[in-house]
């Protein structure tokens, strides 16, 4: 299996903690955060990783090299300018060798069974599948809703809506043929492409993710992940 890791962001929210390197290389107990992420991906059967790199991207290549030390084959798609999540996927397309490819943010860590998206894609004949996660208070987020197993509402905010709800989990599986439809240049997968694809009738399905999740984009989350590693909840 193959995955694209989106690691081209500037990491401005974490600048107080990490100022001299890309956010996914933030030091966690003597190791870069992304080392933990890549090791989890390898455990899940992913053996090829494309690093979609931007800000200080050469540091990522210096860290991971050809990937063999971590058990995968690495390649790099460097951005000359910030392309957004959709543009980064399009820029990485020449490195995609498989008919389906995972895409996920390099500053988030999930402990889930990634292969479940393959199974969902084949079962329902999808062009794209993604994980959602449940939050206790949906009023703070845009909601994801399904109709007949397909995505019908995306990042929708409904006035007065409270209680539990499903939101985008940030882990995607796309067919290569869908990636080829992304125009070159700067585009947002979440804010531009997915809403457009829903309108165009692209078959997008979703599955609830249950398991450990953290986004180290905020200092408090960074400290929480560091604690989880120290306490043995995340293996080193």
What pLDDT score was predicted for residue 88?
A: 97
What pLDDT score was predicted for residue 9?
A: 65
Other CB atoms within a 10 A radius of the CB of residue 229 amount to 18
What pLDDT score was predicted for residue 156?
A: 64
Residue appearing with tokens 């957004």: 84
> In angstroms, rounded to a whole number, what is the distance separating the alpha carbons of residues 10 and 84?
11
Other CB atoms within a 10 A radius of the CB of residue 159 amount to 5
pLDDT band at 10 (very low <50, low <70, confident <90, very high): low
Q: Which residue would you say has higher pLDDT here, 64 or 236?
A: 64
> In angstroms, rounded to a whole number, what is the distance separating the alpha carbons of residues 38 and 63?
12
What pLDDT score was predicted for residue 148?
A: 82
194 in Cβ contact with 203 (< 8 Å): no
What pLDDT score was predicted for residue 130?
A: 96
- 194: its two tokens: 């997915």
Q: Which of 73-82, 95-104, 157-166, 210-219 has the lowest mean pLDDT?
A: 157-166
- Phi, psi for residue 152 in degrees, rounded to 5: -120, -20
> In angstroms, rounded to a whole number, what is the distance separating the alpha carbons of residues 162 and 138?
6
Q: Which of 47-56, 97-106, 168-177, 212-221 has the lowest mean pLDDT?
A: 212-221
**Coil vs helix vs strand at 19:** coil
- What is the full DSSP assignment across 76-101? EEE-SS--HHHHHHHHHGGG--SSEE
Element (H, E) at 123: helix 115-124
206 in Cβ contact with 127 (< 8 Å): no
Residue appearing with tokens 């398991």: 211
**Coil vs helix vs strand at 173:** strand
Q: Which residue would you say has higher pLDDT here, 154 or 13?
A: 154
Residue 60 pLDDT > 90 = yes
Residue 18 pLDDT > 90 = no
What pLDDT score was predicted for residue 87?
A: 97
174 in Cβ contact with 101 (< 8 Å): yes
List residues bridging with 165 in a β-sheet: 135
- Greatest Cα pair distance, the chain, in angstroms, is 51
112-146 per-position pLDDT tens digit: 999 999 999 999 999 999 999 888 887 767 788 88
Residue 19 pLDDT > 80 = no
Options 1.20.1250.20, 3.40.50.1820, 3.90.550.10, 3.40.50.620; CATH for 2-230 is 3.90.550.10
136-195 per-position pLDDT tens digit: 887 767 788 888 878 988 876 655 566 788 888 899 999 999 999 999 999 999 999 999
Rg (CA), the chain: 17
What pLDDT score was predicted for residue 222?
A: 87
- 10: its two tokens: 């500037």
What pLDDT score was predicted for residue 140?
A: 66
> In angstroms, rounded to a whole number, what is the distance separating the alpha carbons of residues 122 and 173?
11
């Amino acid at each position: 299996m193959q995955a694209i890791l989106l690691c081209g962001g500037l990491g401005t929210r974490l600048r107080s903690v990490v100022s001299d390197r890309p956010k996914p290389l933030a030091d966690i107990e003597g190791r870069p955060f992304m080392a933990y992420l890549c090791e989890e991906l390898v455990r899940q059967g992913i053996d090829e990783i494309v690093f979609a790199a931007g800000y200080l991207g050469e540091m990522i290549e210096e860290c991971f090299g050809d990937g063999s030390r971590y058990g995968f084959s690495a390649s790099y798609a460097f951005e000359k300018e910030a392309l957004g999540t959709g543009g980064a996927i399009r820029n990485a397309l020449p490195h995609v060798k498989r008919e389906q490819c995972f895409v996920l943010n390099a500053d988030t860590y999930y402990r889930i069974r990634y292969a479940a998206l393959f199974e969902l894609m084949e079962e329902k004949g999808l062009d794209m599948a993604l994980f959602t996660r449940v939050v206790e208070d949906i009023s703070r987020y845009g909601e994801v809703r399904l109709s007949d197993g397909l995505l019908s509402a995306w990042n929708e905010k409904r006035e007065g809506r409270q209680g539990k709800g499903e939101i985008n989990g940030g882990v995607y599986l796309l067919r290569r043929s869908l990636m080829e439809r992304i125009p070159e240049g700067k585009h947002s997968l979440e804010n531009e492409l997915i809403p457009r694809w829903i309108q165009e009738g692209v078959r997008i399905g979703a599955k609830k993710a249950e398991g450990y999740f953290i986004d180290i984009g905020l200092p408090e989350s960074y400290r929480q992940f560091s604690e989880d590693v120290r306490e043995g909840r995340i293996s080193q």
